[in-house]
Amino acid sequence: MASLLLKNGRVVTADSDAVCDVLVEGETIVAVGRNLPVQADHIIDATGKIVVPGGIDPHVHLDMPFMGTFSSDTHETGTRAALHGGTTTVIDFVLQKQGHSLREALTEWQGRATGTAVGDYSFHMAVTDFNPATKAEIKDMVAEGITSFKTFMAYKGALMIDDAQMLGLMQEVRQHGGLVTAHATNGDMIDTLIAQHRAQGKLTPRYHYLSQPEVTEAEASGRFADIANYTDVNAYIVHLTCEGALNQVRRATERNQRVFVETCIQYLLLDASLYDNEEEGGKWVMSPPLREKKDQATLWAGINQGLVQVVGTDHCPFMWAQKLAGKDDFSKIPNGHPAIEHRMELLFSEGVSKGRISLQKFVEVTSTNAAKIFGMFPRKGTISIGADADLVIFDPTATHTISAATHHMNVDYSAYEGWELTGKIDTVLLRGQVAVDGGETKVGRGYGQFIKRGKTAF
């Protein structure tokens, strides 16, 4: 079995920080310690570098049918781009089609990802039609290692479920020890506001933002937390963006309920002023929309307060030509934004380098917490004996500039074009293999494995 010794790096996990060596045999970490007295087939000198666990992005949409088109990154291109940015595992969403079974949807997604993914991946199951037949399939999904069930409280007629379905799903998932996640926005309010704006001829990207005011997210987040509290199920809000919604989670803690919260990198760094750009505002049309500066402050604070456990991306890229479907009507712009590649470097530069979060907090929110919440810990999310050797070697002082001309995502613009970052990824290992080194991909199509997940252990 091939061995690899990573020497003299500053090895940082959620609960340790020390200059030491990491020994890998095959796919697994077999020793961690100072000056390990061993030989290895391959040695990497990580002196002066930071070594963190491979990133986990639990919110990506690869090759997803949505709003009359497909997101433009496949499981191959999306996971390759993720590896370049230090994300070694992603969790993608399988979408049940209304009127069809969970199994049919899973088979379709397996057909896209199996043998094509370059990085490791798992699936959430999005339940868009909860009925007696779907109910019977929940235990089968848990047995497949799909232990998280996504709900949409918006996108009526396509993905949204109502409160009766939410209640039934939570009761069933609770029986099987799973987790229910939610896109928590009030779909009926949003659809009404969209219709009102369109009727008034208000069609520019800014009206996407004005059709999803903070109250639509705060209301649904509170409702989701309340039903989860009643059913006593593990609950997780995806892509939370704003103060009003986080206050609902804070309120839930007052009755000793824990609702896990994910925000996404864009909500920490970008704000709604970008929608003033009538020509290019569609680049940032996503749901929920970008918010205000005061919401960014709330989210950074939420991370440090432990109310926000995960920073994901909601990576859902569309080519500019796809976005142009909505050039005359914001409601036709495919919702989504590309970020799978830059989540970790953006968060390191804007968060750690600028002193907003500690390095250990960075590890928690980019990797460890997702591994624990989604049942992959300690195989993923840490650097310890027995864990998969998913390792990211970061040069903390190197600088670089983001551009669509150099990124690996299959999308022809970058939402962060020209941003200069401090901290750059040198080398990425996935299950003991050098996957990316010096900007070059070293593993191929099909190297990525499906990761069966267990129960939340947070």
**Least Cβ distance, residue 209 to ligand URP (angstroms):** 12
CB atoms within 10 A of CB 90: 31
User: 265 or 430: whose CB is closer to Zn ion?
Assistant: 265
Comparing every residue's Cβ against Zn ion, the nearest one is: 183
User: 4 or 290: whose CB is closer to Zn ion?
Assistant: 290
DSSP classification of residue 160:
B
User: 63 or 314: whose CB is closer to Zn ion?
Assistant: 314
User: 61 or 380: whose CB is closer to ligand URP?
Assistant: 61
Q: Quick one: what does residue 262 bind among ligand URP, Zn ion, none, with the CB cut-off 5 to 8 Å set by partner type?
A: none
**Least Cβ distance, residue 98 to ligand URP (angstroms):** 16
**Least Cβ distance, residue 66 to ligand URP (angstroms):** 6
Q: How far apart are CA 183 and CA 228, in angstroms?
A: 14
Comparing every residue's Cβ against ligand URP, the nearest one is: 335
Q: How far is CA 385 from CA 28, 106, 199, 436, in A?
A: 8, 33, 61, 23
Answer for the pair 26, 41: CB distance below 8 angstroms, yes or no.
no
Tokens of 88: 């070694």
Residue with tokens 């005061």: 294
Q: Quick one: what does residue 296 bind among ligand URP, Zn ion, none, with the CB cut-off 5 to 8 Å set by partner type?
A: none
Q: Segment 321-340, which members bind Zn ion (CB under 5 A)?
A: none
Alpha helices in 56-162 (DSSP H): 75-84, 102-113, 132-143
Q: How far apart are CA 163 and CA 153, in angstroms?
A: 8
Burial 232-256 (b: 16+ CB within 10 A, else e): ebbbbbbbbbbbbbbebbeebeeee
Identify the burial level of 226 via C-beta atoms within 10 angstroms of its C-beta, where 0-12 means exposed, 13-18 middle and 19 or more buried: middle
User: 212 or 248: whose CB is closer to ligand URP?
Assistant: 212
Q: Segment 162-201, which members bind Zn ion (CB under 5 A)?
A: 183
**Least Cβ distance, residue 238 to Zn ion (angstroms):** 6
**Torsion (CA) 282, 286, 288, 294 in degrees, nearest 10:** -60
Answer for the pair 59, 241: CB distance below 8 angstroms, yes or no.
no
**Least Cβ distance, residue 76 to Zn ion (angstroms):** 20
Q: Quick one: what does residue 286 bind among Zn ion, ligand URP, none, with the CB cut-off 5 to 8 Å set by partner type?
A: ligand URP
User: 57 or 390: whose CB is closer to Zn ion?
Assistant: 57
**Least Cβ distance, residue 122 to ligand URP (angstroms):** 17
User: 337 or 361: whose CB is closer to ligand URP?
Assistant: 337
User: 311 or 434: whose CB is closer to ligand URP?
Assistant: 311
User: 55 or 312: whose CB is closer to ligand URP?
Assistant: 312
Asked if omega into 317 is within 30° of 0 (cis), the reply is no
Answer for the pair 275, 205: CB distance below 8 angstroms, yes or no.
yes
DSSP classification of residue 427:
E
Q: How far apart are CA 182 and CA 176, in angstroms?
A: 18
**Least Cβ distance, residue 274 to ligand URP (angstroms):** 14
Name every residue whose Cβ is closer than 8 Å to that of residue 137 and which is 6 or more positions away in sequence: 101, 102, 103
Tokens of 223: 């409702």
Q: Quick one: what does residue 240 bind among Zn ion, ligand URP, none, with the CB cut-off 5 to 8 Å set by partner type?
A: none
User: 295 or 314: whose CB is closer to Zn ion?
Assistant: 314
**Least Cβ distance, residue 26 to Zn ion (angstroms):** 34
Q: Quick one: what does residue 381 bind among ligand URP, Zn ion, none, with the CB cut-off 5 to 8 Å set by partner type?
A: none
- Count residues near Zn ion (CB under 5 A): 2
The residues that touch ligand URP, with contacts defined as CB under 6 A, are 61, 183, 286-287, 314, 316, 335-336
| Residue 326 CA from chain centroid, whole number | 25
Stretch in the footprint of Zn ion (CB under 5 A) among 77-85, 190-198, 312-320, 344-352 = 312-320
**Least Cβ distance, residue 46 to ligand URP (angstroms):** 36
**Least Cβ distance, residue 150 to Zn ion (angstroms):** 8
Q: How far apart are CA 131 and CA 97, in angstroms?
A: 13
Q: How far apart are CA 424 and CA 280, in angstroms?
A: 28
Q: By CB under 5 A, is residue 343 in contact with Zn ion?
A: no
Residue with tokens 């995502």: 409
Name every residue whose Cβ is closer than 8 Å to that of residue 280 and which is 6 or more positions away in sequence: none
Q: By CB under 5 A, is residue 314 in contact with Zn ion?
A: yes
Helix (H) or strand (E) holding 7: strand 3-13
Give the binding site for Zn ion (CB under 5 A). 183, 314
